[in-house]
Each structure stands twice: as structure tokens, then as C-alpha cells.
Structure 1
Amino acid sequence: MASWLTLVSLLVLLPGAASAPPRGAAGAQAWEPASPELLRPARFALETYNRGRVAEMRAVLGAVSGRVRQAGRGSLYSLKATLLEPPCNDPVMCQLPVSEKTLLCTFEVLDELGKHTLLRRDCGPVATKIADDKNGTFGSFFPLLNPLPQNFYMKMVSLFKDFITTYNRTYETEEEAQRRMSIFINNMVQAQRIQALDRGTAQYGVTKFSDLTEEEFRTIYLNPLLKEGLGKEMHPAKPVDDPAPPEWDWRNKGAVTEVKNQGMCGSCWAFSVTGNVEGQWFLKQGDLLSLSEQELVDCDTLDKACMGGLPSNAYSAIKTLGGLETEDDYSYHGHLQTCSFSAEKVKVYINDSVELSKDEQKLAAWLANKGPVSIAINAFGMQFYRRGISRPLRLLCSPWFIDHAVLLVGYGNRSDVPFWAIKNSWGTDWGEEGYYYLHRGSGACGVNVMASSAVVN
């Protein structure tokens, strides 16, 4: 491990230190100016961005740069682009102190056999001149809220040392340690900005993801396919007639297994679905079983294993396979393997799946009556979430850009602040022992956009 004297001596380089290259990017071409090959996916990304907008409010494409690498049967384009957007006249959506209407966007577009899919879209207002990317697109979104104190970097070194000890980090070279410390410091500034803009009671700061760039975090742990929202169609669930009780928590009713850990694999969709099926089986059969996510990662041919998936597809795969094995029989490894499903070992089956209401009160009533719910949310700020009830500005946590599947297990109030209780799949050393609490009301971060459940008769 790099010596701390060496790290301290490198502090003067931190403001200009480059972020670490994304993991898994080996073989990618360097960033290069726009070419016809890059313009095609860029125009597709622009078309997706403008979808649903009236003509006078559509953005136009400015500068484009990018790189491309092979991904399975297709090509993955990572693009940086400026979009020129007409002035915003909506006082609600224009509340941040940004006067320019030039956006800096990061897009990831997958081209498989000529079919484009938008895997990632991150846009934030910037000055008309493209910002230096060393701090990431996220940093350019926010104004610096307070000047940094003179001893800030020395305090960050101490905090970084504590982080390494707490999460047992090791780096192979001094150069890698320097890059990770630079990323860590930038992330602490970002966490401060998120903290200042949060309207709930959440606390943001050091987490086990604090030495990852935003791009690394999204690529490894989130699920870009959720943004597309396409998958197997489901019937709408029959609404529950009874009103939602003031509070409910299925953890107290024995319907929720322990928090699991998806590891460095974008398999949140599988954990969300197995959590739902575990609850449904418990309520119908009285037996709480920990079910196999690895079976879905390996054997669900509708989804893309660690590259993401959709709960609606996973339900269909469970029906096609004939059921789910338990965690004990088909253990989790966090990467794609050859399918080794055995029908003889199936312990749980489902009969169907249903899509739930987007009305939060009806969703709460269904949850209290029927069991934990598979949902997908916008994971804004979750990289740095520690505890409390998160309530980001709607502008920053759009319900239409969901990228993480989780399990809704209950709801309630803390000090008159309403919340949803959400079981995550990043282990118990994240959040409140693996749980995330999100403000309840107004479709916070998309909690009601893709709610669904298995049906067990």
C-alpha cells in the first residue's frame, strides 16, 4: 500500500488529479471528436432526450466526443455532448441558480445489430464552455455552496485513511492510491452538495462506494435497462378496497429475509424480484425461504445478467423455468455462470405477475394488504447515503430516470416525516443496515413508476 507520507506529498496535485479509468474499460478507444460513427448514437440519444417535448422546447445537439468498445454482439458508445436547450419558463423546474441553457451530457448507447438502446443519460446545466471533465459531469451540476477551508485537504487525508481501514481497501500502486484519494475527495465535496440540497433528514458522506467515480458506481451497481421500461407486459393488479393504515412494516411480520449483497454485479433486478417472491410465498404458504438470485442471473435469457434486467422479464423467466431454487441449493456468486437450474430442487413457484398502481396511497394500501413490492427508483445520492429520510429535489431525482431495482417493505413516519422503507441489495454495511428510507409523497424518485408483484395462488 502507498505510504501516507507519499500521499500527503501528492496533495498539491489533487485539484488537477485525473479520475481513475472506469473498471472494465480495457480495450476502449480514447475520447475523440465526433465522427459519423459517433454522431449516429448521439442523435439517437438526443431523440430520446427530446421524446415527449413540444417542438419549441426540444434541445439541439452541440459538440460531441466519445469512444466505443465492443460489448457482446454489439458496440457500446460512451459519449459526451453539449445540448442547447430553449430557456426554461417554469419557476418550479428553474429553481437552481443556473442561467445558461447549455447542458453537458454523458450518454451510453448500446448498438446491437443496428438497434440502439440508451443505457445511461446524465445531464446538468453548465456554462456554454464545456467544463473540465476531471471532476465528472455531476460536479458541474451544482454551484460550490461554501468556500473550502484551508485545512480541508489535510482533513480529507485523515478521512480517507479511516475509510481505507473501515472498508479494508488496498491499492496495488501509489499512483492508484493517489487517484482513489482524489476521487474520494471530490466525492466528499459532492456529498456536501447533496446534503445541502436535500429537504429531508438524510445524512450523506463516507460510504463503501466513496472511492469510486460516478461512472464506475453506475456501471457496476446500477441498472441502466430500467430506464427503457420495456419488458414483458403484466396485467394491472386488482386494487385493494381498504384504505392504507397509517404505517406498515413487513419486517415485523416475518415476510422479509435478511439484507443480501449483489456485489460488483448489476443484478439488483434479480434481488428485487426474489425479495418480492419470498414475501408472496411466505404469505401464502407460511414459509420464509431465501431464494436464489443466481438462478435468475444465469438462466433468465430475457435479461442481461450483471448488465441489468427488468423485473417483469424475471417473473416471466421464473414461470418458464418452473420456479426458484433456494439460496442454499443455488448460491450467489455475483457473475454470469452456466445455467445449472434443477427442476427437482425447485422450492417456490409463481402463477403470474401484476403491475401495481402509480397512486402512492393505493400502492401503500396494496403493500399493507398483499406483501412487499418490487420497485425501481432513481438512485440519485445513494452512493453517499448513510441514514435518515432522503428527499432530493424532484429536478435532481426525476421519477422517469429510474436505474435501480429494490424491495419496498413498508412505510411510516419519523418525527412527522413520511417515508418508504426500502430493502436494498448492497449489504448491511451500507445505509441503515442495508435499508434506504425515501420520502413518501409526490412519486419520490420514481418509487411508484414500476411497482410490481408476483402472484402465488
Structure 2
Amino acid sequence: MNGLRGSVVLWLALAAVVGSVYGLSEDLDRPLFGLLGSPVRLAESDPGLKKVLQFAEERYNRGSNAMHLRKVSRLISASKQLVKGIRYSITVELSNTQCKKSTMLRTCDFYPEAQKLKTEVCVFDVWDIPWEGTSTLLNQKCKPIDEPQLEETNKVTDASADQSVEESEELLGQFKTFMVKYNKVYSSQTETDRRLSIFHENLKTAKKLQSLDRGSAEYGVTKFSDLTEEEFHDTHLNPMLSQWNLHRPMKPAPPATSPAPSSWDWRDHGAVGPVKNQGMCGSCWAFSVTGNIEGQWFLRNGTLLSLSEQELVDCDGLDQACRGGLPSNAYEAIEKLGGLESESDYSYSGHKQGCIFSTGKVAAYINSSVELPKDEKEIAAWLAEHGPVSVALNAFAMQFYKKGVSHPWKILCNPWMIDHAVLLVGYGEREGIPFWAIKNSWGEDYGEQGYYYLHRGSNACGINKMCSSAQIT
């Protein structure tokens, strides 16, 4: 997230891909051309970059306490990512000019003396929507050119020294509590200090998520609060899900025979097993599929089994084990293998190993698989009639989710950039807020006893994009 960190990076610019941005729809429910969010390096002459640099300068000067205006003295690097809007990542050097902030001069020269320039290296993340004429500073980090650590400079330093000490003590107390609660042990003092810094940034991120949420969700410290966004994505999410060219067609599910009841929860009907933990392995796709099959087997045979995700991690040659996979591939692999072993016979290790599947130990099988419609009312009706559903979503708001119904803005939680597979087990309302009940695979100490609750009825975070189920006849 970088500030709102990279996940809040709102990669929204289909129009820019084809060259003209003005007058085009802001509909996010359209796939992209080319690679999703692929960064493109920019030349200094790029006209959009010039405009964004001016915007970043203005925001920097507005937020700093410096007496003099600062300008970009050197462009180090710049890139942009397109989806429906443009996210610029810019690294520059900013130096003092001879103009005081109170002046209205249009031309401000740099100081000729190097020691008065007080040059800083700054990284800016800016989200620009050209056709709306709006720009947003998502993140700003600067450091003096001769210092080793990045520090935020977009602050008004009006707090007293005592307040600063008090805040530091509070932060250390929160971090110690976090370490004890989640049994965190680090290899060295240097690593502990690094994780404390990440923890601090993540507290800010959770606070911003809280201010942006439109539901009843609470965000804050979770067991992932010492991970950077990149670490979290690498170890718990699934990059294959957003690679739409890899998806194989599935036959459509027959429609439900009755409208959806006002609420339904398969946990109340015995079709959902305990929450599991995928560990630091991007195998969510396997947990989503096995959860679906456990429910289907229960509905056909009356027995709730715990089936093996490790079998899929080891033996599914269509997917990439801990580096991600697709439910559609997993169903096909299970059919070819002849079924799934039980968890007890083929236990989970959280990393790929040699395939030791035995047809003699098959505990459950499937005959085929189907893809559900994209309408949420139809999904609800199908779920109530046929059992828990394998789904995928954009996990934008999940790293720091604690409880309640999460409802991120669509513009922040792009429905086409799904990166996590889960199990839809029910739906209902809380205090007038419609929700989906989602069984996650990050352990019972995540969210609400392992569950995530997401707003229903707005296609939030792409929850309707990839709904599927095995079929057992």
C-alpha cells in the first residue's frame, strides 16, 4: 500500500491504454488489454509526467515546514501503471530554491551553494484521472540525500517532545503486545527494528483503511501487521487468479429452481468444516476447492470429510503449488487423479513436495465442475440450494481486517484484479448491511474466527467474477 501502500494503488486506466482518455466510461467491470497493471517506464519529456511532477511539488511544499520552496532538481526514475486512471511512481531529488513560501514569484532559482540546497530524495505515488482533471497523492516518502533511512516529511511537526516520547512508548507497547500474542520472534535486533518500522507503517495503513470503508468493518493490528505488502502478497495471495488468459472455459451451472431466501448459512446445516491455515504458501486455490468439495460430498453422502489440499499442491500439474493456481484447473486435476485423499492420509505441509497420491486412499471424488452466473442474487440462490461455493476476490482490505462487514470503494478494490480464492458459505444482513460470509484459509486467529465478511449486492472486490463448484453424481 505504500501509504495506503501499493494495494491502494488504484490502477484504473483502460482509456489510457488505447491512447485517449477523455469522455470514456469509468466502468470498472471491464477486463484490461495487455498485462494487468504492468509498469511502463517514462521519459522525462512525457507530458503527463510533467503535470504530475508539478502536482507533487505543490503538495510537498504545502505540507512541509521548510521556509523556502523546493523544486525537482533531478528526475531519477518514473513509471506509470494503467487500468482506469494512471498511477505514477516517481523518484526525484528536491532542492531548495531562493524563493520563500510567502513570495509569489513564478521563477525560483536554486541556491548556487551546495550546502544550502538541502537536497532530498523523494518517492511520490500519484493517482491521476486525466478525464476528470483530478490527482491524488497516495504516498510521499523523502530522505536527506546523505541519510540512510526514508522518513516521511509531509507532516507539520507541532507536537511537543514529550508527546513524541509518549507516542514512541505507545508504539513499542503495541508492538510488544503483538509479538506476544502472535508468538513473533526475530533473528536479530536489526530485524526486530525493521519489523517495528513495518508495524508502524501498517498501523497508519489500517487507519486509512478504516477511514475509507463504507461498511461496519474494523481494521487494525492482525498477525500480518509485521509484513510488507510485497511479503504478504508473495506468501498469502495468488497472482494467477488475475491472469485471465489462463482461465479455461467451464460449463455453466444450471440455475437455481427457487429464489434466494433472505439469509442462509451452510455452517448451520453441517456442510462446512473447521477453518484451516494455508501458512506462508499461495495455495488458497486448493483450500477453496477442497472446501467446496467437502460441502458437495456432505450434501450427497451425509458425511463431512476433511480433504487434502496438499494432494493438489503436490500433484496438480496444471497449477503452480505455492505460487498460485486456478480452481478450474484444480477440478480438472482432481478428475484426472481420480479423487482426493483425506487430510489425515495426505496431510498439509505448506510447501510443494513429491506427489504421493494413492488411488487406494481416495476419500471423495467429483464428476465435473460448473461456473456460476455473475449476478449476486443468482449466486445466493444457487448457494442456498446447492452448497458452499468456491469464489475469488481482490484481497485489498483483508490484511488488516479484524471484524465487521467490509465494504471498500470499488475504485480501491478493482473487481478484475482478484488475487485470493476463498469459500462462500452463506449470506445475510447485519444492522441493515447485506453481507457474504466467507471462509478464509489463514487460520482461526484471522478475522472473525477465520471468516471474512464482505458487502453483498455491489459486486464488491470482484466476488462475483469467479464462482464455481464441483459436481458429484
2:219 to 196, 204, 211: 204
1:141 to 138, 145, 148: 138
Letter in 2 for 1:308: G
SS at structure 2 position matched to 1:56: coil
SS at structure 1 position matched to 2:425: strand
Task: Please give the alpha-carbon distance, in whole angstroms, between the structure 2 residues aligned to 1:85 and 1:362.
Answer: 46
Q: Determine the structure 1 residue equivalent to 2:462.
A: 446
* Mapped contact 1:262–1:268 kept (Cα < 8 A): yes
Q: Determine the structure 1 residue equivalent to 2:33.
A: none
1:104, CA displacement in angstroms?
A: 7.6
Does residue 226 of structure 1 match 2:190? no
Q: Determine the structure 2 residue equivalent to 1:8.
A: none
SS at structure 1 position matched to 2:20: helix
* Mapped contact 1:260–1:427 kept (Cα < 8 A): yes
Task: Please give the alpha-carbon distance, in whole angstroms, between the structure 2 residues aligned to 1:154 and 1:317.
Answer: 53
1:295, CA displacement in angstroms?
A: 0.2
Q: Determine the structure 1 residue equivalent to 2:329.
A: 313
1:80, CA displacement in angstroms?
A: 8.1
1:281 to 270, 292, 297: 297
Q: 1:254 to 1:126 in 2, by over 3 A?
A: same
Does residue 160 of structure 1 match 2:157? no
Q: Determine the structure 1 residue equivalent to 2:345.
A: 329
1:406, CA displacement in angstroms?
A: 0.2
Letter in 2 for 1:435: Y
| 1:380-391 to 2 correspondences below 5 Å | 380-391=396-407
1:272 to 259, 264, 288: 288
Q: Which runs of 5+ in 1 are unaligned?
A: 1-18, 20-45, 59-77, 88-96, 98-102, 108-119
Q: Determine the structure 1 residue equivalent to 2:319.
A: 303
Task: Please give the alpha-carbon distance, in whole angstroms, between the structure 2 residues aligned to 1:146 and 1:282.
Answer: 60
Task: Please give the alpha-carbon distance, in whole angstroms, between the structure 1 residues aligned to 2:385 and 2:255.
Answer: 10
1:440, CA displacement in angstroms?
A: 0.4
Letter in 1 for 2:21: M
Does residue 215 of structure 1 match 2:179? no
Letter in 2 for 1:257: G
Q: Determine the structure 2 residue equivalent to 1:347.
A: 363
SS at structure 2 position matched to 1:179: helix
Q: Determine the structure 2 residue equivalent to 1:259.
A: 275
CA RMSD of aligned residues (A): 3.5
In the superposition, the TM-score normalised over structure 2's length comes to: 0.71
Task: Please give the alpha-carbon distance, in whole angstroms, between the structure 1 residues aligned to 2:354 and 2:404.
Answer: 40
Task: Please give the alpha-carbon distance, in whole angstroms, between the structure 2 residues aligned to 1:146 and 1:353.
Answer: 57
Task: Please give the alpha-carbon distance, in whole angstroms, between the structure 1 residues aligned to 2:78 and 2:273.
Answer: 42
Does residue 406 of structure 1 match 2:406? no
SS at structure 2 position matched to 1:412: strand
Superposed CA deviations along residues 374-402 of structure 1, whole A, max 9, x for unmatched, are 00000012110000000011111111100
* Mapped contact 1:180–1:211 kept (Cα < 8 A): yes
Task: Please give the alpha-carbon distance, in whole angstroms, between the structure 2 residues aligned to 1:166 and 1:146.
Answer: 34
Task: Please give the alpha-carbon distance, in whole angstroms, between the structure 1 residues aligned to 2:47 and 2:268.
Answer: 49
Structure number with greater Rg is 2
1:231, CA displacement in angstroms?
A: 2.9
Letter in 2 for 1:436: Y
* Mapped contact 1:106–1:121 kept (Cα < 8 A): no
1:347, CA displacement in angstroms?
A: 1.1
Q: Which runs of 5+ in 2 are unaligned?
A: 6-10, 23-37, 50-58, 60-76, 94-120, 128-135, 141-153
Task: Please give the alpha-carbon distance, in whole angstroms, between the structure 2 residues aligned to 1:248 and 1:105.
Answer: 47
Q: Determine the structure 1 residue equivalent to 2:432.
A: 416
* Mapped contact 1:104–1:123 kept (Cα < 8 A): no
1:332, CA displacement in angstroms?
A: 0.3
Task: Please give the alpha-carbon distance, in whole angstroms, between the structure 1 residues aligned to 2:255 and 2:16.
Answer: 29
Q: Determine the structure 1 residue equivalent to 2:448.
A: 432
* Mapped contact 1:123–1:137 kept (Cα < 8 A): no
* Mapped contact 1:136–1:214 kept (Cα < 8 A): no
1:127, CA displacement in angstroms?
A: 8.1
In the superposition, the TM-score normalised over structure 1's length comes to: 0.73
Q: 1:241 to 1:221 in 2, by over 3 A?
A: same
* Mapped contact 1:57–1:85 kept (Cα < 8 A): no
* Mapped contact 2:125–2:138 kept (Cα < 8 A): no
* Mapped contact 1:203–1:385 kept (Cα < 8 A): yes
SS at structure 1 position matched to 2:441: coil
Q: Which moved more, 1:135-144 or 1:443-452?
A: 135-144
* Mapped contact 1:207–1:430 kept (Cα < 8 A): yes
Task: Please give the alpha-carbon distance, in whole angstroms, between the structure 2 residues aligned to 1:136 and 1:320.
Answer: 47
Task: Please give the alpha-carbon distance, in whole angstroms, between the structure 2 residues aligned to 1:127 and 1:314.
Answer: 37
* Mapped contact 2:271–2:299 kept (Cα < 8 A): yes
Q: 1:450 to 1:184 in 2, by over 3 A?
A: same
Q: Determine the structure 2 residue equivalent to 1:177.
A: 192
Letter in 2 for 1:274: T
Q: Determine the structure 1 residue equivalent to 2:20.
A: 56
Task: Please give the alpha-carbon distance, in whole angstroms, between the structure 2 residues aligned to 1:445 and 1:309.
Answer: 19
Q: 1:85 to 1:356 in 2, by over 3 A?
A: farther
* Mapped contact 2:14–2:83 kept (Cα < 8 A): no
1:348, CA displacement in angstroms?
A: 0.5
Q: 1:324 to 1:82 in 2, by over 3 A?
A: farther
Q: 1:146 to 1:337 in 2, by over 3 A?
A: farther
Alignment coverage as a number of residue pairs: 368
* Mapped contact 2:15–2:84 kept (Cα < 8 A): no
* Mapped contact 2:80–2:87 kept (Cα < 8 A): no
Task: Please give the alpha-carbon distance, in whole angstroms, between the structure 1 residues aligned to 2:194 and 2:40.
Answer: 22
Q: 1:370 to 1:443 in 2, by over 3 A?
A: same
1:374 to 373, 387, 390: 390
Task: Please give the alpha-carbon distance, in whole angstroms, between the structure 2 residues aligned to 1:215 and 1:172.
Answer: 20
- Aligned-residue sequence identity (percent) comes to 55
Q: 1:255 to 1:136 in 2, by over 3 A?
A: farther
